A and B are shown apart, each in its own frame.
Chain A
Amino acid sequence: MALRELSSLEKYLGLKKPNKYSTQGDKKVPVLQNNNGPPMLGLATIACHLAKEAKRPELLGDTAESRAVVQQWLEYRVTKLDSCTKEDIKFILKDLNLYLQDKVYLAGNRFTVADTLMYYGIHPLIVDLAIQEKEQYVNVTRWFDHIQHYPGVRHHLPPVVVLKNRIYTSRHH
């Protein structure tokens, strides 16, 4: 899964030559084979490396604060999101929904790799949501729909249908 994400990311970044990857351990942590150095380990680490390689540092945040926020959500993706249980899903969506209440993107006011990786990671959760639940977590759905339509991001993932009109009469979210 992680390897497909990295390959999609490379495409988004417009990197001409795809890198060579392998995986390590039973958690299948991605490894980037480096020609001139030791291999690089970890999804978030490699994603940041790719952004730098493509000379797009703004994708990692343009201020010290937003850089920290980007790293926070990357970490969230590879820890909480990737190993969440069924019970955790509710909390994750609730927290994110509250967080995204007043934000267009996860970090700062621009698109970053945090949005990409969180989108990839949360996709399987959103796919399983019923229409009512998507309406309940309206901010997550809004952000998700925005990112999945962002040019060059979606690639390997099927689109999730998000209805523009509310079907269920609105209760307070």
Chain B
Amino acid sequence: MELFVSEGNPHCLKVLAALEVTGVQCSVQYVNHEERVVPFLSRPTLPALLLPTGLHLFSSNAICRYLFEVSGQECSEFCNQWLEWEATDLQPALLQALYMAVLQGKGSEVSTVLQGPLKFLDQSLSKGGMPYLTGVQYPHVQQFYLSVFSEHKSVNGWFDRVASIHSCLSAAQKVLQGKGLQGMKSYMQRQPAPQSSQGRNTQPCNCNPIEVSARLSEGKRNILVTSALPYVNNVPHLGNIIGCVLSADVFSRYGRLRGWNLLFVCGTDEYGTATENKAREEGLTPQLICDKYHAVHSSIYKWFQIDFDFFGRTTTEKQTEIAQDIFWRLHKNGFLVEDTVEQLRCEQCQRFLADRFVEGICPHCKYPEARGDQCDKCGRLINAVELREPQCKVCRQTPVIRSSKHLFLDLPKLETQLEQWLEKSTSTGDWTTNAKQITRSWLRDGLKPRCITRDLLWGTPVPHPDFKEKVFYVWFDAPIGYLSITANYTDEWEKWWKNPHQVELYNFMAKDNVPFHSVVFPCSLLGAQDNYTLVSHLVATEYLNYEDTKFSKSRGVGVFGDMAKDTGIPADVWRFYLLYVRPEGQDSAFSWADMALKNNSELLNNLGNFINRAGMFVTKFFEGCVPVMELQQEDKKLLALVGWELQQYIQLMDKVKIRDALKHILNISRHGNQYIQVNEPWKNIKGGDTERQRAGTVTGVSVNIACLLSVMLMPYMPEVSQTIRNQLNAPQSCVSTMLQGNGTFVCSLCAGHRIGTVSPLFQKLEADQIEALKKRFGGQQVFDVYDA
């Protein structure tokens, strides 16, 4: 007999609680929401129970009935009535309320939806005067999410009684993972919109259409996190991933644990020449190219468990709206200048040629294959019009020089304002050193007006009548993507983006993007004069190299996109290693041998070993229950040490020192291993009472440290983190409490707490496996579908 459940699925609460209460022997399998367990149902339906005879039960109530009957407690008629009412009245209302609260952010409006059922429940409870609805089958009417809506007194009383029952608590923790209502987000996104709600369709992206109002909070820090928008056409490699989305993800997960009100947005940057050309190559429209590759990006990040609040795109109406608005404001405030630019135009292809599409003879060194922006041989920067015997790279015709009017952002005019703001931001915020240096050198070189328009088709149209056929230059337009992506997520985007006093903005990127985020974009926003939120903390990484060279898609060198998935190495291990070698102060390199080494020494032998041993001792020596702990001086010293490491971790993470903070997690498990080694609980357990007590204390302390580690690990390795808590059957409360304030290490697993099934967390990476992988990604790859 097997029970299939999925995380974040409210229907699973009942069955898990019922399973525990009745104690029926049944294995539980956690699957994805999309898993079609029941063979004859077209839509995935969970929870589902596979009966011994091979039949499936797909109704959560029927499953509960079966479990209760099998354990000897039959359902009375009174109970039947409640179950029928629950299925016909309460469930639909609750699903609608959940939809409103979790996906639409309308948590305050759910009382109207739930009024009817709650009133009925209230009346029945107060009439009957019974502590539970029907004696034994209370879990059936399991509504943990009701805790948000508290008007009816009798319901509250009943609810509190039910909610505090252990089986209900543990079911809630398993399903909601300590995230409360938000834990159901991924499940709710896959459900069809409830019939009586107005579902507004947003844009075609990989996420389901949702509209959430991300509210600002009065008492907490409001933090807006962006990761540099990956260009849609380029398949991300490990370097891109660690530089941007992964770093931002770790910080965002951490921030939520800290109780900050945090919004993490990102998306694909889709306009520009490269997409236009790709479209031409593949015979598709640019829009279709973008649709196709946006999905590729989305699935890669999903595999890496990047927990965006929203991953959008720049090709939306909101983008046009907001970009044009900023443009007009700059124009009105006098920060745009017009100028005529001489450009090469290919009459054959009927378009102005971007620099890289012109080839000719370098005017300085006579190299015949100089490109239109830089000569590969002598390295000098040139203008395309300076090339001798220029040719259009596509059709080989000689282009002609044509004048074209363009608009320039008058950076020099905004320089003083910019410097004033920079002074404040860099001194009060957590800018990385390289970001500050790069910015300073740009300013030192002197700001020049920057062209913000281009003669292209695929881009945000310039609304000015004199520049009708032109679009915005991608570097003017792309950072505005942060705003439009947020606008596509929530109507309250201006509360985030035009609110510098209440919102702190973190920008994550690799160092080559710094000048655009610290100079050009802030100038656009300052010139637009609409109280925009400017970056408070600019976090830039150096470059990640691949082995002893650079990532190169054309030469097949390095790990790109979803190749990581094909290696069989779990996403969390990738995350761990990339974060371990995060290029912070200087460039770093990805190395297969090093990844294997770190996996085997740190994850397997240090972290995994400690946590596994702690759990195994509880299972083997104390029948699966955390023993009584009597702390002696030595134990208290360890606790103090662990507490100190925790505080360091928090101080470092607060300052986005992601790599350093990771070290403290590993320190803790190292201390833990030594502690176990010294105290030898496996020997002491065979001794007399004092020795056994010692074994108990050491085991109990260790398993509590394991619990703390699971919380600290959450930003880095979310899946492993949850697995540890599942194995320890840890209560959801521990996740939200231990990282608050300066960090407090509390005892979350008290004496008597029953843990779950312990098993190894990590696998060893063998030398031959690593050799094979290194060869595979070393440069003899065949071109695959992600070809540029």
Contacts and interface: CB of A to CB of B under 8 A. Distances in A.
A41 B87 CA distance: 13
B614 interface: no
Contact of A68 (B41, B43, B66, B87): B66
Given A64-B66, A72-B62, A79 B85 contact: no
B135 interface: no
A75 B77 contact: no
B66 A65 contact: yes
A45 B81 contact: yes
A141 to B, nearest CB: 16
B77 A71 contact: no
Contact of A76 (B42, B52, B59): B59
Given A64-B66, A85-B195, A72 B57 contact: yes
A52 B83 CA distance: 18
Interface in A76-107: 76, 78-79, 83, 85, 91, 94-96, 98-99, 101
B77 A45 contact: yes
Interface string A43-59: 11100110010000000
A67 interface: yes
Contacts of A27: 88
Contact of A75 (B42, B62, B66, B195): B62
Given A76-B59, A91-B42, A94-B42, A65 B51 contact: yes
B65 interface: yes
Contacts of B441: none
B223 interface: no
B137 to A, nearest CB: 12
A72 B40 contact: no
A42 B57 contact: no
A69 interface: yes
B80 A48 contact: yes
Interface in B62-120: 62-63, 65-66, 69-70, 77, 80-81, 83-85, 87-88, 91-92
Contacts of B219: none
Interface in A120-159: none
A163 interface: no
Nearest to B124: A38
Contact of A64 (B41, B61, B70, B83): B70
Contacts of A69: 55, 57, 62
Contacts of B41: 95
A72 B58 contact: yes
Nearest to A103: B55
Interface string B33-53: 000000111110000000111
A40 interface: yes
A83 B63 CA distance: 22
A75 B84 contact: yes
Instruction: Assign chain A's interface to a size class.
Output: 20 to 34
A64 B73 CA distance: 11
Interface string B375-418: 00000000000000000000000000000000000000000000
Contacts of A65: 51-53, 55, 66
A72 B59 contact: yes
A67 B65 contact: yes
Contact of B81 (A41, A76, A94, A95): A41
Contacts of B87: 75, 78-79
A71 B61 contact: yes
Contacts of A41: 81, 84-85
A42 B89 CA distance: 11
A78 B89 CA distance: 10
Contacts of A71: 59, 61-62, 65, 83
B4 to A, nearest CB: 15
Contacts of A101: 40
B128 to A, nearest CB: 9
Given A40-B81, A45-B84, A75-B87, A95 B59 contact: no
Interface string B123-163: 00000000000000000000000000000000000000000
A39 B39 CA distance: 39
B42 A95 contact: yes
Given A72-B62, A79-B88, A85-B195, A95 B40 contact: yes
Contacts of B91: 79
Contacts of B195: 83, 85
Interface of B: 39-43, 51-53, 55, 57-59, 61-63, 65-66, 69-70, 77, 80-81, 83-85, 87-88, 91-92, 195
Interface of A: 27, 29, 40-45, 48-49, 52, 64-65, 67-69, 71-72, 75-76, 78-79, 83, 85, 91, 94-96, 98-99, 101
Q: Which 5 A-B pairs have the closest CB atoms?
A: A98-B40, A72-B62, A68-B66, A42-B84, A99-B40
21 contacts: A27-B88, A29-B88, A40-B77, A42-B80, A42-B84, A42-B88, A45-B77, A45-B80, A48-B77, A49-B77, A64-B69, A65-B53, A68-B51, A68-B62, A71-B59, A71-B61, A71-B83, A72-B58, A75-B83, A79-B87, A91-B42
Given A41-B85, A91-B42, 9 more contacts: A41-B81, A45-B80, A49-B77, A67-B66, A68-B57, A69-B57, A69-B62, A71-B65, A76-B59
